[in-house]
Protein backbone atom coordinates (compact mmCIF):
# COMPACT_ATOMS: atom_id res chain seq x y z
CA UNK A 1 0.00 0.00 0.00
CA UNK A 2 1.09 3.55 -0.67
CA UNK A 3 1.88 5.86 2.28
CA UNK A 4 -0.51 8.67 3.10
CA UNK A 5 -0.22 11.80 5.18
CA UNK A 6 -2.42 11.49 8.27
CA UNK A 7 -4.00 14.70 9.57
CA UNK A 8 -5.97 15.05 12.78
CA UNK A 9 -7.75 18.35 12.31
CA UNK A 10 -9.62 20.68 14.66
CA UNK A 11 -12.80 20.11 12.68
CA UNK A 12 -12.55 16.33 13.17
CA UNK A 13 -12.14 16.71 16.92
CA UNK A 14 -14.96 19.28 17.05
CA UNK A 15 -17.24 16.73 15.39
CA UNK A 16 -16.38 14.18 18.09
CA UNK A 17 -16.83 16.76 20.84
CA UNK A 18 -20.17 17.96 19.45
CA UNK A 19 -21.48 14.39 19.49
CA UNK A 20 -21.44 14.64 23.28
CA UNK A 21 -19.61 11.32 23.60
CA UNK A 22 -16.05 12.65 23.78
CA UNK A 23 -13.93 15.22 25.57
CA UNK A 24 -11.13 16.13 23.20
CA UNK A 25 -7.62 17.53 23.46
CA UNK A 26 -7.01 19.99 20.62
CA UNK A 27 -3.25 20.01 21.29
CA UNK A 28 -2.09 17.41 18.73
CA UNK A 29 -4.12 18.74 15.80
CA UNK A 30 -2.73 20.00 12.51
CA UNK A 31 -4.21 21.78 9.53
CA UNK A 32 -4.97 19.82 6.39
CA UNK A 33 -3.67 21.45 3.23
CA UNK A 34 -6.32 19.65 1.18
CA UNK A 35 -7.99 22.32 -0.96
CA UNK A 36 -6.07 25.17 0.66
CA UNK A 37 -6.03 28.26 -1.55
CA UNK A 38 -8.38 26.71 -4.15
CA UNK A 39 -11.17 29.24 -3.57
CA UNK A 40 -14.88 28.99 -2.95
CA UNK A 41 -15.58 26.88 -6.04
CA UNK A 42 -13.50 24.08 -4.54
CA UNK A 43 -15.81 24.02 -1.52
CA UNK A 44 -19.18 24.76 -3.09
CA UNK A 45 -18.99 23.26 -6.58
CA UNK A 46 -18.65 19.69 -7.83
CA UNK A 47 -15.14 18.24 -8.05
CA UNK A 48 -16.01 16.78 -11.47
CA UNK A 49 -18.30 18.57 -13.96
CA UNK A 50 -19.66 16.78 -17.03
CA UNK A 51 -16.92 14.17 -16.69
CA UNK A 52 -14.16 16.78 -16.65
CA UNK A 53 -11.96 18.10 -13.86
CA UNK A 54 -12.62 21.86 -13.48
CA UNK A 55 -9.77 24.29 -12.92
CA UNK A 56 -10.26 24.44 -9.12
CA UNK A 57 -9.97 20.64 -8.85
CA UNK A 58 -6.98 20.00 -11.14
CA UNK A 59 -4.18 18.15 -9.45
CA UNK A 60 -6.46 16.96 -6.65
CA UNK A 61 -9.20 14.99 -8.42
CA UNK A 62 -8.89 12.81 -11.49
CA UNK A 63 -11.18 11.56 -14.21
CA UNK A 64 -9.16 8.82 -15.92
CA UNK A 65 -10.66 5.35 -16.01
CA UNK A 66 -8.55 2.33 -15.18
CA UNK A 67 -6.82 0.98 -18.28
CA UNK A 68 -7.07 -2.83 -18.36
CA UNK A 69 -7.39 -2.85 -14.57
CA UNK A 70 -4.20 -0.82 -14.09
CA UNK A 71 -4.05 2.69 -12.71
CA UNK A 72 -1.41 5.18 -13.77
CA UNK A 73 0.86 6.26 -10.92
CA UNK A 74 1.13 10.00 -10.37
CA UNK A 75 2.22 12.36 -7.63
CA UNK A 76 -0.32 13.19 -4.93
CA UNK A 77 -1.50 16.75 -4.41
CA UNK A 78 1.34 17.35 -1.90
CA UNK A 79 3.93 16.08 -4.41
CA UNK A 80 5.16 13.89 -1.55
CA UNK A 81 3.83 10.44 -2.42
CA UNK A 82 2.86 8.36 -5.40
CA UNK A 83 -0.88 8.10 -5.90
CA UNK A 84 -3.21 6.68 -8.51
CA UNK A 85 -6.49 7.36 -10.21
CA UNK A 86 -8.58 4.24 -9.79
CA UNK A 87 -11.88 5.21 -11.38
CA UNK A 88 -13.81 2.40 -13.01
CA UNK A 89 -16.74 2.11 -15.37
CA UNK A 90 -19.58 0.31 -13.59
CA UNK A 91 -20.87 -0.90 -16.96
CA UNK A 92 -17.74 -3.05 -17.33
CA UNK A 93 -18.01 -4.76 -13.94
CA UNK A 94 -20.76 -7.34 -13.84
CA UNK A 95 -21.10 -7.52 -10.05
CA UNK A 96 -20.95 -3.74 -9.44
CA UNK A 97 -23.95 -1.68 -8.43
CA UNK A 98 -23.65 1.90 -9.68
CA UNK A 99 -24.63 4.86 -7.47
CA UNK A 100 -27.98 6.58 -7.94
CA UNK A 101 -28.11 8.95 -10.91
CA UNK A 102 -28.15 12.04 -8.68
CA UNK A 103 -24.87 10.90 -7.07
CA UNK A 104 -22.92 10.39 -10.31
CA UNK A 105 -20.24 12.76 -11.55
CA UNK A 106 -19.86 11.17 -14.97
CA UNK A 107 -22.34 10.86 -17.81
CA UNK A 108 -23.65 7.43 -18.76
CA UNK A 109 -21.63 5.59 -21.40
Q: What is the pLDDT along the chain (109 residues), one digit of tens a residue?
A: 556 667 788 888 999 999 999 999 999 888 877 888 889 998 899 888 887 888 888 888 888 776 766 667 777 777 677 777 777 777 777 787 878 877 777 766 4
Query: What is the widest separation between alpha-carbon atoms in the chain?
Result: 49
Give pLDDT, residue 44. Answer: 92
For residue 99, the model assigns a pLDDT of 80
Euclidean distance between CA atoms 97 and 109, whole angstroms:
15
Q: What is the pTM of this model?
A: 0.58
CB within 8 Å of 21: residues ≥ 6 apart: none
Amino acid sequence: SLPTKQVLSDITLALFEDSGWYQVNYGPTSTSSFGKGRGCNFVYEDCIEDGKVPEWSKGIFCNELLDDGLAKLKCDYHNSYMSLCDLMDYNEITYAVPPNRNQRYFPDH
